[in-house]
Structure 1
Amino acid sequence: MAVSLVGTPTSGNTAAGTSNTLVTTLPSGWAAGDVAVLVGHLSGGTLNMSTPAGWTPLPGSSWPVTEGSSSRMYAWSRVLQSGDSAPTIAINGAMTGGWSMTAFRDGSGVAQAATSTASGTAVTLPTLAGVGAGSALLAAAHVRVASGAIPTNLSPDAAYTEVVDQATGRITSSANLRMEAAYRLTSSAGSYGGDAVTSDVTGSMVGVLVEVASASQAYTGDATVSATATLGPGAGVTRPAAATLTGLASVSAAASRTTAAGVILPATATLAPAALRTTLASATLAATATLTSTAGAGRPAGALLDVTASLAAAGTIDRPAAVALHADVALAAGAAIEERVAATVAAIADLTASADEGGAGQPGVLAAFRARPQLAAGTATATLTATSAGGVLRPTVWP
């Protein structure tokens, strides 16, 4: 979802005097989760603005950013929370200054920011690389004049919509500031910036360009879910290439993980109840891996249950090709293997009570046994531990 402007941006300044505080107001219509950007403008070479509580200086610059000796800019951001009140900017002395605040909805936060300065009638905004589709770009700038005519206009590039344009009103023998803010929305990813903000009067200019990234932007490269990482209930990860769940990583109940290439579940990895794991290529459940109750694995190619692996009660594997049960592998009560071709029961493997080998039309008769598999060399016995429902018994040991 693309970022959008919230309500009406707000602004203020010291008017015809000076002050050591700037009392701000939040934009109209703001809500919890909106991303607000607060810009402070100051005329003064030795005085500073303090960061309001709960606000964070924008990345990419050391604040304040200064042109000449007395033209200074500060900028902060905050993800607004329920119950927030507008901050007050404190200055460590009475000075000429102003501020503007702009809020954006459906943003994840400030992704990047950069600044530029100039002496003259125009400041060129910096270039931001890697801006995402659906982001908002905020451009803010000011021009300071030490004395003389107060600038009457600051004009952003035509790609931007101006939302703030204000000026202090001190006598012309004193310093004054004109301040503006404008924004644009991006429809495609790429590099943005290099646009000019122009003034009708020469002065000391500072500009900042800020990207508020869309909350829906997705990473499309290869990903690794590392040890002990968890995808919680309802979470999903869709991967166009191979992904690896490393040791102890888990996909929890109702979470899904889909890939078009191979997936490896290493030793001790677990698919929890109702979890889904789908792949179009081969999968291996390594030593001690477990499919728990009601978990399912659907496989169009060969599957292997390795040493000591188990299918718990009600667990299923549907197989159009051969399944090999290796030494000490157990099928618990209620578990099923449906086979269309012969299966091999290896040394001391057991089929426990109520296990079903899908003998259609022949209740209780094991399909694998009907194929009369060979007992491996050195094997003592293979056993059926309970009488079948249909009362048809096979000898305990075949010749």
Structure 2
Amino acid sequence: MLQTAFIRENREKVIQALGKRNFDAAPLVDEVIALDEKRRSTQVALDTILSESNKLSRSIGELMKAGKKDEAALLKEQTVQYKEQSKELEETLNTTAEALTQALYKLPNVPADIVPEGKTPEENLEVFAAGEIPVLYGGAVPHWELAKKYDIIDFELGVKITGAGFPVYKGKGARLQRALISYFLDKNTAAGYTEMQVPHLVNEASGYGTGQLPDKEGQMYHVGIDDLYLIPTAEVPVTNLFRDVIIEEKDLPVLCTGYTPCFRREAGSYGAHVRGLNRLHQFDKVEIVRIEKPENSYAALDGMVDHVKEILDELGLPYRVLRLCGGDMGFTSALTYDFEVFSTAQDRWLEISSVSNFETFQANRLKLRYRDKEGKNQLAHTLNGSSLALPRVLAGILENYQTADGIVIPEVLRPYTGFDIID
């Protein structure tokens, strides 16, 4: 979340910057400033009373030693009043601090200066494109028909077991899925990321730490009896490994990668664009997470973008990179680049990765800091990216690599699959 001092000292800047998100921040910003002022003034009043109470306690002790019990008794009555006042002030302080925290939770991150204006995905800015869109043979079909033709993904069986959006991968489809996971992890670890295996359920504190709560509470599956949440992405457990941690400056940057299944309710999703692998409730994803010094984080973001580019180049898929406009960015992000693969069979772009810099927004929630060379604790910057989400990458491979004889496997994946073609 945003730091209170930053909001207080940069009111107009915060309101103007959040306007890029089409977010009217003025009422909430003023509420934060008012609550912070109340919190600070209450703290000053409480500190003053506690100080006076301590002075009285010392005076009472001195009077008792001098045998002046009557004078000591009068001061004792005053200390009782101080205790009652301090109790009231402590209650006010706690209530105000909680109200301030809840107000801060409602404010999204401030977009970076280079984030373009815009309200819809159509206003995102294309900054890079690579790969040639293939010309498919006359009988080319979308991936959901290919999945049925070659018996590699069974959507109906998933409905039987669980419901829509929970596919079953079979035979070479399952092996291709596993090959992609292994390939992505190998690419990430070769680039210096440490592989982590993390829980697939998280507690409420973890959800608040990375910003899924309270913003996306309705989009996560909640296990009510245990008050746990199924993870929407590995970003949540991996980043929370460093909650309440102080990292030594010499140990930065921290680079982690992890494979997990991801669970998203996707409430309200419907229509042709969610067919097949295009929108799922459960899917596999490999994530990369970085913790950086603030002055290095945007260079690190560029490096993450280049890393994902290299993977897509090796897969031979046509793709483009978009800098998201303010209205299409996630709640916690300061700057996001989306990667999209072109599906020739569907004749449209499919989002397959988001790479984001959150600056100090998550770190402030997480109390994730680093100790600088002077021994001072500073908030770190956090970044994360999909490297990569599997469903639409798989859809792109199935559709763009289909031929009259079968689906050709990209050469870079063949050592992992053990076969060259699905036929």
Fold-level match, TM-score > 0.5? Answer: no
TM-score range, shorter chain: under 0.3
Structure with a larger share of its residues in helix: 2
TM-score by length of 2: 0.24
Between structure 1 and structure 2, the one with the greater Rg is 1
Task: Considering fraction of residues, name the structure with more strand.
Answer: 1
Higher RCO (C-alpha under 8 Å, 6+ residues apart): 2
